[in-house]
């Protein structure tokens, strides 16, 4: 109930942009002579969902690890709420930012509910500890894993693990959510659910950084899109301004069409498929079509 009211209140969002929660200036990361991240400037603002996209090796995960404080940039600065990120104590930082990584293994057969309860660890010894069970219950529900609460984590499927970990991050109640490919293993329903929850978090005054591969999802859920290419910022702005046919085609080195949805007017991002050239699917004489039909029959 409180979740819903937070969602509606947050609709007046532009006013909430009081300043950057996280600010990177000239962030550069080099590994063995290779520059993974090259002078990235970035402001993560409260109240918005920032989606980071880019081809493989563009530096998306590296950027996220720099923003999370896992890796100090070799050059440039990252500040959290005005303070250099490296000077914020891990325990303090854990109450303000949660991170969902791509790979989420758990070494021992903990139950899902145990894993989600671990998200409450930063709040031990504070007044917030009293709300632990409520927060955990809501996080389980938000990630749609309440049914799996008593299951052993290692027995879950990839998508279920991803959702259980998302619940753990939500239980942490951070202002800043850093999500690395949260939807990669998820079905359509849960992709929508996770990103809707992320947007709700932003509307309630939080900040969200999401790394996504799916440009259609990026177009649908981003308030702002950062396009990375070769470790540099290729574009940073509103989805409609950034996600253009020209830019995406250049960055991905592959034809990508961006057009308005015929009914809703929403942004559609469609990578061209070699197999999907005009006429091919409808052409009954095409050699692949009958065999496909036979296979299906």
Residue choice 34, 264, 277, 285 for contact with another protein (CB under 8 A): 264
Residue 67 interacts with another protein (CB under 8 A)?
A: no
Cα separation of 235 and 248, whole Å?
10
Site for another protein in 3-62 (CB under 8 A): 3-4, 7-8
Q: Which is nearer to another protein, 137 or 247 (CB)?
A: 137
Q: Which is nearer to another protein, 58 or 171 (CB)?
A: 171
Q: Which is nearer to another protein, 7 or 230 (CB)?
A: 7
Residue 115 interacts with another protein (CB under 8 A)?
A: yes
Find the part of the chain contacting another protein (CB under 8 A) among 52-60, 78-86, 90-98, 246-254.
90-98
Residue 241 interacts with another protein (CB under 8 A)?
A: no
- Tokens standing for 282? 């409808």
Find the part of the chain contacting another protein (CB under 8 A) among 33-41, 97-105, 208-216, 278-286.
97-105
Residue choice 12, 18, 70, 259 for contact with another protein (CB under 8 A): 70
| Shortest Cβ 72–another protein spacing (Å) | 13
Q: Cβ atoms within 10 A of the Cβ of 14, count?
A: 9
Find the part of the chain contacting another protein (CB under 8 A) among 33-41, 102-110, 222-230, 285-293.
102-110
Site for another protein in 139-198 (CB under 8 A): 140-142, 144, 146-147, 149-150, 154, 168, 172, 192-193, 196-197
- Which positions lie near another protein, rule CB under 8 A? 3-4, 7-8, 65, 68, 70, 90-95, 97-99, 101, 103-111, 113-115, 117-119, 121-122, 124, 133, 136-137, 140-142, 144, 146-147, 149-150, 154, 168, 172, 192-193, 196-197, 199-200, 203, 263-266
């Amino acid at each position: 109930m409180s979740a819903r009211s937070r969602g509606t209140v947050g609709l007046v969002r532009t006013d909430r942009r009081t300043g950057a929660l996280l600010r990177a200036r000239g962030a550069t990361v080099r590994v063995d002579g290779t520059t993974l991240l090259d002078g990235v400037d970035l402001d993560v603002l409260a109240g918005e969902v920032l989606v980071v996209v880019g081809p493989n090796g563009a530096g998306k995960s590296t950027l996220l690890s720099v923003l999370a404080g896992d890796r100090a940039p070799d050059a440039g600065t990252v500040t959290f709420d005005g303070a250099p990120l490296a000077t914020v104590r891990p325990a303090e930082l854990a109450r303000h930012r949660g991170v969902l990584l791509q790979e989420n293994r758990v070494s021992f057969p903990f139950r899902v509910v145990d894993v989600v309860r671990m998200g409450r660890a930063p709040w031990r010894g504070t007044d917030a500890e009293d709300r632990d069970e409520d927060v955990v219950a809501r996080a389980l529900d938000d990630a749609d894993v309440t049914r799996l609460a008593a299951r052993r984590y290692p027995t879950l499927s990839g998508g279920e693990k991803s959702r259980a970990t998302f619940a753990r991050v939500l239980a942490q109640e951070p202002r800043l959510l850093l999500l690395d490919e949260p939807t990669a293993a998820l079905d359509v329903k849960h992709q929508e659910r996770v990103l809707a929850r992320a947007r709700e978090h932003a509307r309630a005054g939080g900040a969200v950084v999401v790394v996504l591969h799916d440009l259609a999802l990026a177009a649908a859920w981003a308030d702002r899109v950062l396009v990375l290419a070769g470790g540099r910022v290729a574009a940073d702005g509103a989805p409609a301004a950034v996600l253009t046919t020209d830019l995406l085609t250049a960055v991905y080195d592959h034809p990508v069409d961006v057009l308005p949805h015929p009914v809703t007017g929403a942004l559609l991002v469609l990578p061209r498929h070699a197999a999907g050239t005009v006429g091919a699917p409808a052409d009954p004489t095409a050699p692949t079509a009958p065999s496909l039909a036979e296979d299906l029959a």
